[in-house]
């Protein structure tokens, strides 16, 4: 019965979608989803949304979902990151009327996910995940889906997928990379892991990884047996990927900018999309790259896009006359939509047992390592990151010597800086949760739960006190009654 239900969900609600655009932070907004749908995408995800912020902030809900309602934008899956079952359910309840399913992000490998304790950094906490998915599948009116990364071992990955299915997941997207495979060491995704998962579960499975052309999509469908294939970076560099076309960049960028005028989004989203689309061209016209980065409004971005188009049109004419002369490693002229392949670090070799180096090269440096490599205070910037070198160029007097930075005491629960006057020795977020749970005050953070609670009870007691012969009961008596009332309420 469950297998029939999940299969029906994919075939009916999702219309048998095979070509899927991935959830991408600040990149899969409504305008981009509409562009993708017009060029072959059959299913789209929202960007990853923070469940806790979504629950508590009405503006966040409006800006990221409620104001983006569009009849063209279906079927649609809303993705949340969360680590609390109740918060995940509450977010799903607020979003379920605007989508076709709710997805739990279990694949984000970034450091911010590690600090926030979500994404791929929950993949070892099976009991928590079972509670989150089972509770959501029971209380939501739309299906619950998951997007995961694989473990190095195929067997463990299969057991992980089967656990999620048993908990109530009705569709599983498997990114065939581990959480350590990111940045310059993204590497090749393992379709063998995905194939093994597909054979082991009865729910629909989407594959993610190694998709740059439509031929890759078809090969993945054939080799893994999955129901659909998801693309992230491939679609960012070529929105027409699922059509099997490689159009001129300006064709896609102009269409996207037209959609943005109808469905506005933050300027940073637009700029990021154009950097992806024009990536290869901007390696040549670096002056226009700087202008695109500095554009202050939509018209400024449109102007830079027009100038890039004119320059490429001129090159295109020369290209047609002189014949094929693609430069570097590109298979097509730089003004044609095509994938970007990250260069592998020179000191990493996957041959002769060099795979173990992946664990160290490209990983996030620890705070101690950064302190060792940072500026020694004498102006030496050789070991600084590019971002810090730019800051140094703007302000030559700026120092990154960590010994000069103030040392903050850490919150006892989450490790963030604690409030200097907090009576619980916590940061504001943790203090607020504790004070609310225990009905306590923290003057250091301006939290007055206990005071407000007692005032409320005092007012209730005053309202309930009887009035006789026009005389008001003695104030001290009311206080005594309130105290007794508080004790009763607490028990």
**CA–CA gap between residue 15 and residue 77 (Å, rounded):** 13
| Alpha carbons 190 and 192: distance in angstroms, whole number | 5
Which tokens hold the place of 280? 């290869």
Token reading at 213? 């052309």
Alpha helices by DSSP H, 225-359:
233-237, 249-262, 267-277, 279-282, 286-294, 298-322
What are the C-alpha distances in Å from 372 to residues 137, 347, 366, 368, 393? 48, 21, 10, 6, 21
Q: How far, in Å, CA of 228 to CA of 207, rounded? A: 6
CA distance 361 to 354: 11
DSSP state letters, 431-450: HHHHHHHHT-EEGGGTEEHH
**Which H or E element spans position 230?**
strand 228-231
Residue 204: burial class (beta carbons within 10 Å; 0-12, 13-18, 19+): buried
Question: Cis omega (within 30 of 0) on the bond before 75?
Answer: yes
CA dist list (Å): 456 to 12, 305, 451, 460, 480: 52, 60, 9, 6, 15
| Annotated catalytic residue within 81, 99, 108, 430 | 108
Give the separation between CA 457 and CA 80, rounded to whole angstroms.
Answer: 38
SS3 call for 418? coil
Token pair belonging to 52: 């806790």
Structure tokens at 158: 């299969």
Burial of 78 (0-12, 13-18, 19+ CB in 10 A): buried
DSSP 278-290: THHHHTT-HHHHH
Sign, CA dihedral 145-149-155-156, equals: negative
* HSE value, Cβ hemisphere, 13 Å, CA-based, for 33: 30
Residue 478 CB contacts under 8 Å (≥ 6 apart), including other chains? 458, 461, 462, 465
Say whether 422 is catalytic: no
Widest distance between CA atoms in the chain = 107
Active site residues: 108
């Amino acid at each position: 019965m469950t297998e029939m239900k999940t299969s029906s969900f994919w075939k009916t609600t999702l219309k048998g979608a095979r070509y899927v655009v991935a959830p991408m932070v600040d990149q899969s907004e409504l305008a981009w989803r509409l562009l993708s749908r017009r060029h072959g995408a059959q299913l789209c995800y929202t960007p990853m949304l923070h469940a806790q912020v979504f629950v508590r902030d009405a503006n966040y809900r409006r800006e990221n979902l409620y104001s983006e309602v569009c009849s063209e934008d279906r079927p649609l899956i809303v993705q949340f990151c969360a680590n609390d079952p109740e918060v995940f359910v509450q977010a799903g309840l607020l979003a379920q009327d605007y989508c076709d399913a709710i997805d739990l992000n279990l694949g984000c490998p970034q450091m911010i996910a590690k600090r926030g304790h979500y994404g791929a950094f929950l993949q070892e906490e099976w009991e928590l995940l079972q509670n989150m998915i089972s509770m959501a599948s029971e209380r939501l009116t739309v299906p619950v889906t998951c997007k995961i990364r694989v473990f190095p071992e195929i067997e463990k990955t299969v057991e992980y997928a089967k656990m999620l299915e048993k908990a109530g997941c009705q569709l599983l997207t498997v990114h065939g990379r581990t959480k350590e495979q990111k940045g310059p060491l993204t590497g090749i995704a393992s379709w063998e892991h995905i194939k093994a998962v597909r054979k082991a579960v009865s729910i629909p499975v989407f594959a993610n990884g190694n998709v740059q052309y439509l031929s890759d999509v078809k090969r993945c469908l054939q080799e893994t047996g999955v129901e659909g294939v998801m693309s992230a970076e491939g679609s960012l560099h070529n929105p027409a990927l699922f059509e099997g076309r490689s159009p001129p960049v300006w064709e896609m960028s102009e269409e996207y900018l037209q959609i943005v005028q109808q469905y506005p989004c933050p300027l940073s989203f637009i700029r990021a999309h154009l950097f992806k689309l024009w990536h290869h061209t901007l390696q040549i016209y670096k002056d226009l790259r700087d202008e695109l980065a500095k554009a202050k409004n939509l018209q400024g971005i449109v102007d830079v896009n027009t100038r890039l188009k004119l320059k490429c049109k001129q090159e295109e004419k020369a290209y047609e006359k002189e014949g094929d002369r693609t430069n570097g490693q590109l298979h097509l002229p730089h003004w044609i939509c095509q994938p970007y392949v990250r260069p592998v670090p020179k000191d990493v070799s996957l041959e002769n047992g060099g795979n173990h180096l992946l664990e160290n090269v490209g990983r996030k440096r620890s705070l101690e390592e950064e302190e060792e490599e940072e500026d020694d205070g004498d102006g030496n910037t050789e070991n600084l990151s590019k971002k810090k070198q730019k800051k140094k160029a703007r302000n030559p007097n700026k120092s990154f010597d960590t010994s000069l930075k103030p040392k903050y005491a850490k919150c006892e629960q989450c490790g963030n800086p604690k409030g200097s006057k907090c009576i619980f020795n916590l940061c504001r977020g943790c203090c607020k949760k504790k004070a609310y749970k225990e009905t306590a005050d923290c003057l250091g953070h301006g939290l007055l739960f206990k005071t407000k609670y007692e005032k409320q009870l005092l007012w209730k007691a005053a309202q309930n006190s009887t009035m006789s012969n026009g005389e008001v009961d003695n104030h001290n008596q009311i206080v005594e009654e309130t105290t007794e009332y508080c004790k009763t309420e607490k028990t």
